Structure 1
Amino acid sequence: MVSTAVTGTRGTNVADNRPEAILAALGGADNIIEIEPCITRLRCEVKDGALVDEAALKATGAHGVIKSGDVVQVIVGPEADTIASDIEDLL
């Protein structure tokens, strides 16, 4: 099996560190107010929505990004619980 690495817009190797890449694309740990999983999405409240890099989130394999002000939903699929837990460990 051949594995290909995908590099996000901020230079992160998303195949090896998806939670870290998502956290960086959300503006970093200091920008996160709250993050919680919901079936297939990460629901995030951020301090500054302008710091969120939608292209970088999509580069992590996100199926979509919904942004409304300082609330961001990242559609990641059924692994949302695991990713949210991993991100919380990084905060």
Structure 2
Amino acid sequence: FTALYHAYQASGQMKWAWWTVMTILACMIVVFIIRYFIIVAVATLFLVPLMAFFVKAFLTIVVATFLLTIVFIIIYKGKTSISKWMRARRSQQEGA
């Protein structure tokens, strides 16, 4: 976060550094509750600062972050349910 802080300070956008940190923390709390902490926290850490540089609207950053969070959760849940289904199919075939 220190590197981020200095990068924003240099570009005269201190408020964005603060909002970025707050957004990341908010997303981490939400994600922790949903229990997909690592995947989305890592994604958020990389994507939010990038979006803050390219997009100057805070609301856009928040909306995009939460959409990304939802997408990652759907992908993760999809992968686990597919692997469960595959295991179930395999055990059925072995049992038959």
Q: Scaled by the length of structure 1, what TM-score is found?
A: 0.27
Question: Which of the two has greater strand per residue?
Answer: 1
Identify the structure with bigger relative contact order (alpha carbons < 8 Å, sequence gap 6+).
1
Higher helix fraction: Structure 1 or Structure 2?
2
